[in-house]
Structure 1
């Protein structure tokens, strides 16, 4: 057994091998070192079976004995020194390693300490061998930071893989990987561990495939196109225009008309005694097209009619007619009932915010916003509203609330090409990435194409979980984000197994290759407990065709929608008072009432 002597003269054993193993067969020696990497020489014996070859495996950590310290290296390449292989004789091999750091024993009997960087470089002939388990634990020790377990080390599945959950959340994180590698499973694990460690954390998940709700059912509140209530008056002008134009090129003349008349409709809702044509007047001066104050679409349409009637040139009227047609089309479209339902003219901002952002959460801290059933042309606008509200909510709560916004398929909202995507959504999420951590609003990014994601957003993610990536461009993006001293780790990105990931950044002590825990079938994202009924289901062709033709279900739509145009619009005399139509009583969700915040508390009245 090898022993080294410390400077104080105390013998310190650095041997990690089983006493029954042959000294020669499991040892290598340093034959080259350039400061960042080293090369080892070893032999593989035919009598050894797999004992030696199992130790020299790409991706494993090894230890180099330097007396009072052990230099830790990562194996990234193995080669035989000659091109032939001998079945009956020893085969010399070379192992290329990347130097990671040093492990040293500070106090006898106490756990060893790991430090990044190298203070003593391996000398020629230094002994290298398999790293012992206690040194491996020291490498990934989080030094007292709040940690959660997400799996095991790929090198040694008896050792837990822990991450610093506070640093992972507060400094943003990203999960990247190609389709089918377990990316959504990893996200599910991270979310569960996060809310277990931080019970007051709220999470808003942008779920384009409706896959997280089933796996997080006991802790998640699910909102979809049928259950979402997001009043049209909470949309800013550019978001509202995106809804009206449905992804087509926006006519700026029509937008300017809206910019002028929406504040007038809002003021009339606030002061019904004033005529529709009047502007200004006390508190109404602060109203803009972006102020989240209720108004009625019937008032907006009357203003359009009046403006058209006051035009001298008939050539200007087509712009007003086109805008009016867009508004009327959106109002009667059953897919937009979450915006234009009969209750959407009421001041329900407290209920809306409480429901979406779980105030109070009542045991369900996660909101899964399921977008699969929502018209694709308005998904961007809705995500923009929710991301903007998330930032404002944490900003004006003055540190009393922590909120994580998780974006699945983030490259859809924040593409690398600034000409693609929806600018307000990109701006809202970029604001969270750049400023959110100061106020308690955090960002989680999930994507299978990091090369198509805005590099500014990815650079703000201080912890990255990189799963298998086959695309060279995507691999290059991740390589540019990782520390140079761990660059060789990413050589495995294209060949990692299911549930495997390389974690690096603030959430781990050093770059770590891990395997996420295996979930039960009912906990997997996208799992639907259909039992044996799936094969017995029949396709309702009539319902499918009705949806293709945009025909609403007569029962559910009539109950939820109501019509903004069902009451005849009386002529309006300038300066005459106008009595508003009484609002329908609101059916409030009980759990969202208890601690409903006031609008002034979040600064909505002045922003």
Structure 2
């Protein structure tokens, strides 16, 4: 009701501009020409405002030589308002036509403010708002020069990942300490260039910190090709993950096959035997208090002998059933070649120190990232393997607090597999440790990077623990709503653009950027790209010849691997 007089006054005020524009034949001002106001403030709220803009003037600016000014008034563009000696910057979230005038009403979200310099330029931009404009204040387009001031990276450690939309040369930067200090997530539907973009970010961080400590869980074997020259690569052939590093809960997930009351009974027996195996023949004074969770080496032969001895103490044959189940499972694990990477050999040495040093890159020797390819791990224990690796990261951080600090970054691809929304989906050990890292990791110098194509399938609250969200195109409405709910109010206008993003474009919001930005990722060198490109059916289906050899070699690998 109250906006009509303001809008009418504004349209009258701009009528002279339209006349002048007509008299000059619609010539477009050059980038050095000063551009007048394009709107006026109608209403102010804490996080945003409503402004009125003149359609004729917006059309006149659409061919401006400055691409930022040419974008003026469009959804996702920025506008500025003068408040005292400062410029207040806002992002256009929505537009609607005004029924009674040649104008549009825009909802804008405030982003931050900068100082007004000579010639109307803006300098020293900072996030946050200290003073608000009053209704009736003039609204101006943001120029590329203003954009440089807004997005210019300061001296804090940062990595450049691409160019800020809609410019061609303004660099988009991620501030490393805020991004890693409060976790981050990379989201995007399949085919949007997510894996390549993750590789780009990790390469830039590795280049900035060649003595860093990054562990990446790679469920599809994509990233080994991208980091073969600057990382340590692990798979089932060389991982050699000791089974005795598992805690009691992880032992239960591997060894127990029952449910309900039977599972609880089996777990009690497993706990008793496991503790006896961990302590057998040990000088316990060097360890202090030993529990079923203590990562102390034990022999599978000792475990089997203790199990057999306990079974022999029983009077009735019926009571031996749970023991027999455990024995059968143990024999199965030791005999199955798929589990060699974890349950290998009869002799056990205390390899925990060398294993952690290699996995955590301590020291890194210029190769700061470990890629753990779990694609060859049997599906029954994949979640346990990821649980052990994630827990090693967290527990090391906790128990090394009195030492010189070595912060660790754990990057988890396909995160919705391991922290699913469904709490009854099994694999509780990995879910618990990743949720704990999300909540408590930053206290101990552990950062979590979650990568997923289905954020709506992630457990409640995990995404909201990520201080920086890098969202590529999401095609699913539920995924879009999930990301929107996890982000602050001021970023909503940017998030509305998620369905319209091109491949290898993203919206970055949160701690890792000064303000929300839309970025086109840089091209990555071919040798640094992951092996994740989609096959060309049309091209590959034209190729023929050698099928017999392909099939025979495939079957040989298939049978030899046992998967």
TM normalised by structure 1 equals 0.77
Shift of the 549–142 alpha-carbon distance from structure 1 to 2, 3 Å rule, reads closer
CA distance in 1, matches of 2:466, 2:496: 21
Name the Cα RMSD after superposition. 3.4
Aligned to 2:76: 59
Aligned to 2:44: 34
Shift of the 301–154 alpha-carbon distance from structure 1 to 2, 3 Å rule, reads same
Matched, 1:316 2:319: yes
CA distance in 2, matches of 1:314, 1:247: 19
Contact 1:231 1:340 in 2 (8 A): yes
Q: Aligned to 1:367, which of 367, 370, 382? A: 370
Deviation per residue, 1:138-172 (Å, 9 max, x gap) = 22345432222111101212101112111111221
Offset at residue 489 of structure 1 (A): 1.9
CA distance in 2, matches of 1:395, 1:17: 61
Shift of the 456–319 alpha-carbon distance from structure 1 to 2, 3 Å rule, reads same
Q: Aligned to 1:200, which of 192, 211, 224? A: 211
CA distance in 1, matches of 2:123, 2:53: 27
Matched, 1:405 2:410: yes
Contact 1:176 1:449 in 2 (8 A): yes
CA distance in 2, matches of 1:388, 1:191: 22
Offset at residue 430 of structure 1 (A): 2.3
Offset at residue 326 of structure 1 (A): 0.8
Matched, 1:459 2:464: yes
Shift of the 550–329 alpha-carbon distance from structure 1 to 2, 3 Å rule, reads farther
Aligned to 2:202: 191
Which deviates more, 299-308 or 214-223?
299-308
Aligned to 2:19: none
Aligned to 2:193: 182
Contact 2:470 2:506 in 1 (8 A): yes
Q: How many pairs does the alignment contain? A: 518
Aligned to 2:89: 72
Shift of the 170–119 alpha-carbon distance from structure 1 to 2, 3 Å rule, reads same
Aligned to 1:133: 144
Offset at residue 508 of structure 1 (A): 1.2
CA distance in 2, matches of 1:403, 1:20: 48
Matched, 1:219 2:222: no
Give 5+ residue unaligned stretches, structure 2.
Answer: 1-27, 65-69
Shift of the 48–359 alpha-carbon distance from structure 1 to 2, 3 Å rule, reads closer
Matched, 1:291 2:302: no
Offset at residue 308 of structure 1 (A): 2.3
CA distance in 1, matches of 2:316, 2:259: 27
Deviation per residue, 1:359-388 (Å, 9 max, x gap) = 232222111111111111101111111111
Offset at residue 31 of structure 1 (A): 5.8
Which deviates more, 374-383 or 433-442?
433-442
Shift of the 17–105 alpha-carbon distance from structure 1 to 2, 3 Å rule, reads farther
CA distance in 2, matches of 1:260, 1:204: 33
CA distance in 2, matches of 1:196, 1:521: 17
Deviation per residue, 1:109-156 (Å, 9 max, x gap) = 996122422614154262523x12232122234543222211110121
Shift of the 92–544 alpha-carbon distance from structure 1 to 2, 3 Å rule, reads same
3-state SS in 1 of match to 2:475: coil
Aligned to 1:450: 455
Shift of the 253–96 alpha-carbon distance from structure 1 to 2, 3 Å rule, reads closer
Offset at residue 549 of structure 1 (A): 8.9
Q: Aligned to 1:430, which of 428, 432, 435? A: 435
CA distance in 1, matches of 2:59, 2:371: 58
Contact 2:508 2:517 in 1 (8 A): yes
> For 1:222-261, what aligned pairs fall within 5 Å after superposition?
222-245=233-256, 251-261=263-273
Shift of the 402–19 alpha-carbon distance from structure 1 to 2, 3 Å rule, reads closer
Q: Aligned to 1:392, which of 387, 392, 395? A: 395
Offset at residue 91 of structure 1 (A): 6.9
Offset at residue 176 of structure 1 (A): 1.4
Offset at residue 424 of structure 1 (A): 1.6
CA distance in 1, matches of 2:192, 2:347: 42
Shift of the 185–100 alpha-carbon distance from structure 1 to 2, 3 Å rule, reads same
Contact 2:210 2:367 in 1 (8 A): no
Offset at residue 75 of structure 1 (A): 2.3
Max Rg structure: 1
Aligned to 2:473: 468
Shift of the 195–348 alpha-carbon distance from structure 1 to 2, 3 Å rule, reads same
Aligned to 2:342: 339
Offset at residue 493 of structure 1 (A): 1.5
Shift of the 498–248 alpha-carbon distance from structure 1 to 2, 3 Å rule, reads farther
CA distance in 1, matches of 2:258, 2:143: 59
Offset at residue 475 of structure 1 (A): 1.8
Shift of the 107–49 alpha-carbon distance from structure 1 to 2, 3 Å rule, reads closer
Contact 2:51 2:106 in 1 (8 A): yes
CA distance in 1, matches of 2:291, 2:139: 73
3-state SS in 2 of match to 1:417: coil
3-state SS in 1 of match to 2:163: strand
Offset at residue 50 of structure 1 (A): 4.6
Offset at residue 485 of structure 1 (A): 2.5
Aligned to 2:333: 330
Contact 1:178 1:469 in 2 (8 A): yes
Deviation per residue, 1:307-355 (Å, 9 max, x gap) = 2222111111222222111110110100000112126622222222222
Shift of the 247–111 alpha-carbon distance from structure 1 to 2, 3 Å rule, reads farther
Shift of the 127–457 alpha-carbon distance from structure 1 to 2, 3 Å rule, reads closer
CA distance in 2, matches of 1:54, 1:114: 21
CA distance in 2, matches of 1:195, 1:394: 20
Shift of the 82–346 alpha-carbon distance from structure 1 to 2, 3 Å rule, reads same
Contact 1:154 1:500 in 2 (8 A): no
Shift of the 332–140 alpha-carbon distance from structure 1 to 2, 3 Å rule, reads same
Contact 1:413 1:421 in 2 (8 A): no
Give 5+ residue unaligned stretches, structure 1.
Answer: 1-15, 84-89, 272-280, 553-607
Q: Aligned to 1:270, which of 282, 294, 297? A: 282
Contact 2:390 2:433 in 1 (8 A): yes
